[in-house]
Amino acid sequence: MPQNWLDGVWTGIGYQLEGYIWSIRLTANKEKNEFRIEYPSIGGSGGQWTLIEPDSTADRYTFEERIFPPDGITEDGGRIIVTKVTDNHISFSYFHRPTFTTVTAWSTLEREQK
């Protein structure tokens, strides 16, 4: 097992309130503070997550998302809360700016096994 429960590569399918479905791939390295997000089925878009609220004691982290380059398909600046479900599953909840009060997308991601 990795040193931090979030470390590793996580994949899954995202669901959006509007009915859209897409693939997700998160590569996380807490020690290096590197969190790379990819949305392969949305034109290969992706970006970086910035940790804004570490709460590893509650098995939860809050991130802000930056998409590179912003392309109109995905939106920059959302908040994501990632919560540990099991050693091999995490939940992903996406909140839209500016209020960050409503979950607009969600997923359960599975750790890729080496």
Cut 0.75: pTM above it = yes
User: 8-111: what fold?
Assistant: Porin (2.40.160)
Contacts 24+ apart (CB under 8 A), 80-84: 80/49, 82/6, 83/59, 84/5, 84/6, 84/59, 84/60
Predicted pLDDT at 77: 79
pLDDT value of position 98 = 75
Asked if pLDDT for residue 1 goes beyond 60, the answer is no
Residue 4: pLDDT over 90:
no
Query: What are the residue boundaries of the structural domains of the chain, listed by start?
Result: 8-111
CA 42 to chain centre: 15
pLDDT in tens, 24-60: 999 999 999 999 999 888 877 788 999 998 776 779 9
CA pair distance 70, 53, nearest whole angstrom: 24
Q: Count CB atoms within 10 A of the CB of residue 68.
A: 12
